[in-house]
């Protein structure tokens, strides 16, 4: 009897052996310690994404034996620091975290970051289960330069959605709007200036405000520039319609002083419970549900960007990680990038509410909702947003000038300026800047 049991155990062990050997082999095939003893410096943009990377940094150090020093700087300081340091050829960092919608083209033009395609294709540097094909096509397109070089790995795709105060909507008996027209009506219905209640809040601050306008413009199925990036579409009837929409909702339904609001002032106002809707990125969700900070932690709704007259899209902005081309520890630096963008890390990012993952597998995880404080509505909004996402800003080198030039026009509109003439003037001002950048 004993012998028979032993034989069965042995047979089972033999049968299981190939699978075990394969798994062990896969683990052994990838050498995480190959750059042991090296040191890395990482420059990060201050954000929930950076918080997640830093929270797990020690795990990377234990796994690889690589010493990591990372710093977070606010984006207004980190962006110029990154570009200027890279342009000198002697950056103080090996890995940089940056926004593709701001710096993609300028780092591509200078070829300051390493082309990561050979690294991804190299099994000695990229384990098979990292799974490049798991990344969504738009995120890979965002991380790829026009010449085909892929000089960064997508870290986060920030979809824009509408945060809304369910309590205010219930009090007025209003359903969450499906269209931009309904959104305007809801914003007006929720606004009661005598009680300091406003139907809408969004960015009014120059530069930061442009994605709000482009969100409305996407509802006209139109971008701000032609697909080849050569002709501005910023004074078309559709652009003027989006400008009128922006002007009306910001002047009539947003709190006083909104012209100077960036995302943080908008968020601060929203969590006080006197704002109906806030249009902004999904990555700003965590403080809304924090009961120590938010008065509406139990009433926050996550709504899909409403459809416009001609299209239904939400804007998307992508963050990425890149390796400095002049780094002396490129292998170790790449290892950090591929680790920070692997399946487990991006799942951590989404669970923490730090934004949306560019990986498709993240959303297939059955425990995602259970482990996350954000719930089913948040997840379904995220998934629906992914289906209708389009670039929120043009992929051009002078994107900051673009945002500043049209940002001023939008602040003027909040002040009461005529939309058509403001956009026409901004278009004329920006046209030579675009033309010059195309020649360079």
Partner 1 sequence: MSAHVATIAPAKPATAHQRRRNYARRYRLFIVPAGIVVAAVIVFPWLFTLFMSVQDFHVGGAMTFVGLANYTRMLSDERFLWAILHTLYFTVLAVIFPTILGVIAAVCFNQRFPLRGLARTIFILPMMATPVAVALVWTMMFHPQLGVLNYLLTSIGLPPSTWVYDSATVIPTLVMVETWQWTPLIMLIVLGGLASLPQDPYEAAALDGASAWQCFIKITLPLVWPFIMVALVLRAVDALKAFDTIFVISGGGPGTSSETLNLYLYQEAFAYYDIGYASAIVVVFFVLILLVTLLLMSRRAKAAAA
Footprint on this chain of partner 1 (rule: CB under 8 A) = 79-80, 83-84, 87, 106, 109-110, 112, 196, 204-206, 255-261, 265, 268-269, 272, 274, 398, 400-401, 404, 407-408, 411-412, 414-415, 440
Which is nearer to partner 1, 208 or 347 (by Cβ)?
A: 208
| Beta-strand pair 95-99/39-45 | parallel
Coil vs helix vs strand at 39 = strand
d(CA 387, CA 316): 11
Which is nearer to partner 1, 225 or 307 (by Cβ)?
A: 225
Q: Is residue 333 within 8 Å of 323, Cβ to Cβ? A: yes
Which is nearer to partner 1, 275 or 349 (by Cβ)?
A: 275
If phi > 0 it is left, if psi is from -120 to 50 it is alpha, else beta; for residue 89 that is left
For residue 274, the minimal CB distance to partner 1 (Å) is 7
Residues 6+ apart with CB under 8 A from 180: 216, 219, 245, 306, 307, 308, 309
For residue 434, the minimal CB distance to partner 1 (Å) is 13
d(CA 162, CA 62): 40
For residue 259, the minimal CB distance to partner 1 (Å) is 4
d(CA 369, CA 380): 10
Query: Quick one: which of 237, 231, 168 has its CA closest to 197?
Result: 168
Q: At what angle do helices 57-64 and 330-340 cross, to 10 degrees?
A: 130
Which is nearer to partner 1, 243 or 398 (by Cβ)?
A: 398
Residues 6+ apart with CB under 8 A from 51: 72, 352, 354
Question: Which of 351-354's residues contact partners 24+ apart within 8 Å by CB, and which partners?
Answer: 352/48, 352/51, 352/52, 352/55, 352/286, 353/48, 353/283, 353/285, 353/286, 353/289, 354/47, 354/48, 354/49, 354/51, 354/52, 354/156, 354/283, 354/286
Q: Is residue 221 within 8 Å of 311, Cβ to Cβ? A: yes
For residue 269, the minimal CB distance to partner 1 (Å) is 6
For residue 112, the minimal CB distance to partner 1 (Å) is 8
For residue 427, the minimal CB distance to partner 1 (Å) is 15
Which is nearer to partner 1, 106 or 356 (by Cβ)?
A: 106
Which is nearer to partner 1, 207 or 222 (by Cβ)?
A: 207
For residue 225, the minimal CB distance to partner 1 (Å) is 18
Alpha-carbon torsion, ordered 32, 329, 317, 200, to 10 deg: 90
For residue 210, the minimal CB distance to partner 1 (Å) is 13
For residue 320, the minimal CB distance to partner 1 (Å) is 18
Which is nearer to partner 1, 110 or 237 (by Cβ)?
A: 110
For residue 332, the minimal CB distance to partner 1 (Å) is 26
DSSP state of 179: B
Query: Quick one: which of 262, 290, 269, 260 has its CA closest to 168?
Result: 269
DSSP state of 144: B
Which is nearer to partner 1, 116 or 259 (by Cβ)?
A: 259
Which is nearer to partner 1, 257 or 309 (by Cβ)?
A: 257
Which is nearer to partner 1, 384 or 418 (by Cβ)?
A: 418
């Amino acid at each position: 009897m004993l012998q028979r049991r032993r034989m069965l155990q042995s047979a089972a062990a033999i049968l299981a052996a190939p699978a075990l050997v394969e798994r062990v082999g896969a683990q052994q095939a990838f050498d995480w310690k190959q750059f042991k003893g090296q040191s890395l410096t990482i420059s990060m943009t201050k954000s929930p994404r950076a918080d997640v990377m830093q929270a797990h940094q020690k795990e990377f150090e234990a796994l690889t034996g690589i010493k990591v020093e990372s710093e977070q700087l606010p984006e207004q300081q980190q962006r110029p620091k990154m570009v200027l340091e890279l342009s000198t050829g002697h950056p103080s960092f090996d890995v940089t975290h940056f926004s593709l919608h701001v710096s993609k083209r300028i780092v591509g033009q200078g070829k300051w970051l390493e082309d990561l395609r050979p690294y991804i294709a190299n099994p000695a540097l990229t384990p098979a289960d990292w799974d490049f094909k798991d990344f969504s096509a738009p995120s890979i397109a965002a991380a790829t330069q026009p010449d085909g070089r892929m000089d960064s790995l997508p870290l986060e795709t920030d979809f824009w959605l509408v945060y809304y105060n369910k309590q205010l909507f219930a009090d007025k008996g209003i359903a969450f709007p499906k269209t931009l027209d309904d959104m305007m009506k809801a914003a007006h219905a929720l606004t009661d200036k005598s009680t300091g209640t406003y139907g809408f809040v969004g960015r009014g601050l120059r530069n930061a405000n442009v994605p709000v306008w482009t969100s409305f413009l996407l509802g006209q199925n139109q971008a701000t520039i032609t697909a080849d990036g050569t002709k501005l579409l910023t004074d078309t009837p559709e652009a003027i319609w989006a400008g009128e929409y922006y002007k009306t909702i910001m002047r009539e339904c947003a709190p006083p002083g909104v012209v100077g609001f960036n995302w943080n002032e908008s968020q601060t106002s929203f969590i006080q419970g006197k704002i109906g809707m806030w249009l902004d990125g999904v990555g700003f969700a965590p403080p809304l549900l924090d009961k120590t900070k938010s008065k509406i932690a139990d009433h926050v709704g996550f709504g899909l960007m409403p459809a416009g007259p001609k299209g239904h899209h939400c804007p998307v902005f992508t963050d990425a990680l890149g390796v400095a081309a002049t780094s002396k520890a490129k292998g170790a630096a790449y290892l950090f990038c591929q680790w920070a963008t692997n399946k487990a890390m991006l799942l951590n990012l989404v669970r923490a509410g730090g934004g949306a993952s560019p990986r498709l597998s993240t959303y297939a995880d059955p425990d995602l909702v259970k482990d996350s404080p954000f719930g089913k509505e948040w997840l379904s909004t995220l998934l629906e947003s992914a289906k209708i996402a389009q670039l929120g800003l043009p992929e051009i080198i002078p994107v900051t000038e673009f945002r500043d030039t049209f940002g001023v026009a939008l602040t003027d509109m909040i002040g009461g300026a005529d939309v058509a003439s403001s956009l026409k003037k901004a278009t004329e001002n920006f046209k030579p800047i675009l033309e010059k950048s195309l020649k360079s």
